[in-house]
């Protein structure tokens, strides 16, 4: 979703901003813009629609200065266009502003304060910059006072950087709900919504809390709370490994990340499981979970699909009832809670606004919370009572792959730890290190054969406009994720189905040639699913069966090693990921940055 970079005090401002925007491309965007001020009265505003390359081409050598802000926009209010791209500016062209988030009361603010003004864009952001300008230019407030007054009126989420042309020695910064970090570099400062943008400039960052603002100067940062009182803040260290954010020899991030999954399994095993079978997880967390009478998993998208598997893992190995909820639904439709609930949030980015609003409410109710995330220091990691890291390395492709399998592996570690604490035999008997090692080997075999998946994608999905993934139980969970992978990057209409549900309606859509990819790894239901396969075949469906060694039959196209039932998605999903990947490449589409999608969904 939208990305922000700003800097003050470095003569290479333009390079810093453009490099930062390029690194934020992975988050998804549809337009971009940059404003640079040379601190001697010259300034430059350039905005383009489409890829950063278009902005780069439009930024000439004359764009230089020591103060600047830049933005990638993912449209919420108003279509992708130059007028709607950020920075937005005041009619007087004195104030320039970039914004991540959504201002929910922008129409009311417009009607109350800016009824006489004309607007150059359809954005909620322009309302913010016009308010600041009005309070300075008509009410004669100082810029700081106008900034504070404006912030006090805003409802919703924002990370803001604002420049007053008449004060080129300061960058105005504010945050509420949307992520923002102030990076302390050598002789200058940077501000960003994502440390990936500035990882080569500093490892030291100041975090702003919700509702705070900061005045960032070349060698100094002042943080003020909502009452205007100065706040002390120690820097935190955020290290991003340089080689982890590159593609290496891979053509795309997605393929690199699919192929990294065996290594991620081994890393999780090394990190959380000792050779002696001990589990390295905070005992306080394990104890609190062991005392819970019901677990509530909350997540979105792929992370929600991983939480469906987490529910099964905890019910089997820890014998604690569990529910999995979609965050955007859960937040506004809370179920009746049990007496001793525990909330587990799954979020690769740790920034998903839908999940965060449930976390905020859970905390308000005094309920215990854990976040399982890939990003240390992310908003959810900071705000939950406990957090566990995925150790998957940065995931750059918009479509989540290695984070899903890492989430399942970490859930399994935790379920085993809690089950062992509760003396559940299934947990005590589970050789998780062995299972993760087997999963890694099976993943290796699948990812070693790119050509097979390229051919299967061509054969089954080549000209498809619709596709179905079927399975029962744990295979149903993975069919939802495999379907999401295919639809989000190839734009083929795809559905994941509980195989038994097919004949209750959806079978009407099966006609000759429709691809139906079927996972069969659950022994107890394998025969029933085979029956569904026959029903599909009888109507001309083009069936591809992916079965485990425990369920295989002659004629199955893909056979994979069997793991303990709840861990089968670690392997089956890789088949789904590669099918989606090659079906998308064959359509000539952008695998890493699919249309309309954002990596980190920071608005509700």
State the residues that interact with ligand F6R by CB under 6 A: 300-303, 347-349, 352, 355, 399-400, 484, 488, 600-601
Q: How far is the CB of 543 from ligand F6R (least distance, A)?
A: 25
Q: Which is nearer to ligand F6R, 185 or 484 (CB)?
A: 484
Closest CA to 202 of 62, 9, 49: 9
CB of 397 to ligand F6R, least distance (A): 8
Taking the complex as a whole, how short is the minimal distance between the CB of residue 398 and ligand F6R, in angstroms?
A: 6
Burial of 395 (0-12, 13-18, 19+ CB in 10 A): buried
Rg (CA), the chain: 25
Pick the catalytic residue from 51, 175, 485, 599.
Answer: 599
Bridge partners of residue 469, in order along the sequence:
496, 517
Name which of 184 and 601 has its Cβ closer to ligand F6R: 601
Q: Smallest distance, Å, CB 600 to ligand F6R?
A: 6
> Residue 227 and residue 216: Cα distance in Å, rounded?
18
Closer residue to ligand F6R (CB): 151 or 300: 300
Q: Does 2 participate in catalysis according to the annotation?
A: yes
Cβ burial of 230 (10 Å; 0-12, 13-18, 19+) is exposed
CB of 583 to ligand F6R, least distance (A): 15
Q: Which two tokens stand for residue 403?
A: 């984070």
CB of 163 to ligand F6R, least distance (A): 30
Identify which of 377, 370, 443, 434 has the alpha carbon closest to the alpha carbon of residue 406: 443
CA 94 remoteness from chain centre:
35
Burial 8-45 (b: 16+ CB within 10 A, else e): bbbeebbebbbbbbbbbbbbbbbbbbbbbbbbeeebbe
Residues 86/33, Cβ–Cβ less than 8 Å: yes
What is the Cα–Cα distance from 497 to 523, expressed in whole angstroms? Answer: 18
182's CB contacts (< 8 A; 6+ apart) are: 173, 189, 190, 191, 205, 206, 207, 208, 214, 216, 221
Give strand pairing partners of 297: 324, 344
Nearer to ligand F6R, 69 or 300 (CB): 300
Q: Which is nearer to ligand F6R, 37 or 192 (CB)?
A: 192
402 noted as active-site residue: no
| Active-site hit among 2, 51, 66, 402 | 2
Cα dist. 115→137, 184, 366 in Å?
16, 40, 43
Q: Which is nearer to ligand F6R, 2 or 547 (CB)?
A: 2
What residue number has its CB nearest to ligand F6R?
Answer: 301
Please give the positions annotated as active site: 2, 599
């Amino acid at each position: 979703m939208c990305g922000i970079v700003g800097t003050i005090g470095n003569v290479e401002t333009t390079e810093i901003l453009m490099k930062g925007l390029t690194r934020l491309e992975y988050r998804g965007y549809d337009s971009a813009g940059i404003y640079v001020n040379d601190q001697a009265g010259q300034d430059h505003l350039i905005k383009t629609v489409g890829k950063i390359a278009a902005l780069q081409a439009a930024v000439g050598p004359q764009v230089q200065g020591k103060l600047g802000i830049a933005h990638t926009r993912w449209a919420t209010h108003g279509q992708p266009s130059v007028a709607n791209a950020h920075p937005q500016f005041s009619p007087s062209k004195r104030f320039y502003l970039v914004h991540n988030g959504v201002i929910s009361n922008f129409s009311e603010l417009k009607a109350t304060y800016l009824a006489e003004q004309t607007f150059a864009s359809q954005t909620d952001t322009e309302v913010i910059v016009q308010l600041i300008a009005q309070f300075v230019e008509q009410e004669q407030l100082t810029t700081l006072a106008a900034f504070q007054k404006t912030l006090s009126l805003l409802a919703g989420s924002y990370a803001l950087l604002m420049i007053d042309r008449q004060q080129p020695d300061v960058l105005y910064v504010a945050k509420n709900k949307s992520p923002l970090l102030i990076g302390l570099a050598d002789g200058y400062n940077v501000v960003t919504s994502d440390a990936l943008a500035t990882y080569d400039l500093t490892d030291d960052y100041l975090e702003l809390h919700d509702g705070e603002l900061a005045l960032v100067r070349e060698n100094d940062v002042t943080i003020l709370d909502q009452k205007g009182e100065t706040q002390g803040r120690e820097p935190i260290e955020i290290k991003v490994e340089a080689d982890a954010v590159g593609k290496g020899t891979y053509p795309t991030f997605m393929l690199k990340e699919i192929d990294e999954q065996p290594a991620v399994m081994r890393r999780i095993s090394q990190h959380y499981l000792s050779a002696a079978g001990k589990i390295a997880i905070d005992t306080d967390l394990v104890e609190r979970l062991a005392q819970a009478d019901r677990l509530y998993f909350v997540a979105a998208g792929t992370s929600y699909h991983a939480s469906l598997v987490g529910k099964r893992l905890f019910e089997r190995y820890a014998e604690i009832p569990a529910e999995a909820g979609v965050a955007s639904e859960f937040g506004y439709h809370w179920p009746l809670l049990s007496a001793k609930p525990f909330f587990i949030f799954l979020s690769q980015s740790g920034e998903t606004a839908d999940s965060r609003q449930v976390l905020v409410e859970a905390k308000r109710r005094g309920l215990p919370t854990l976040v399982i995330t890939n990003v240390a220091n992310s908003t959810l990691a900071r705000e939950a009572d406990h957090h566990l890291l995925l150790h998957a390395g940065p995931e750059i492709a918009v479509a989540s792959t290695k984070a899903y399998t890492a989430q399942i592996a970490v859930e399994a570690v935790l379920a085993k730890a809690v089950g062992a604490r509760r003396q559940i035999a299934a947990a005590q008997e589970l050789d998780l290190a062995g299972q993760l090692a087997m999963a890694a080997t099976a993943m290796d075999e699948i990812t070693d054969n790119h050509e097979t998946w390229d051919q299967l994608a061509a054969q089954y999905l080549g000209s498809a406009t619709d596709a179905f993934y079927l399975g029962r139980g744990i295979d149903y969970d993975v069919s939802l994720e495999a379907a999401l992978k295919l639809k989000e990057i190839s734009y083929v209409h795809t559905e994941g189905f509980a195989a038994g549900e097919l004949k209750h309606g959806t079978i009407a859509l099966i006609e000759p040639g429709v691809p139906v990819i079927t996972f069969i790894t659950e022994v107890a239901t394998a025969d029933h699913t085979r029956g569904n396969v026959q029903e599909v075949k009888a109507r001309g469906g083009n069936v591809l069966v992916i079965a485990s060694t425990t369920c295989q039959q002659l004629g199955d196209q893909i056979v994979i090693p069997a793991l303990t039932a709840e861990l089968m998605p670690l392997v089956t999903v890789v088949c789904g990921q590669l099918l989606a990947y090659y079906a998308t490449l064959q359509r000539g589409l952008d695998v890493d940055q699919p249309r309309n999608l954002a990596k980190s969904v920071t608005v509700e």
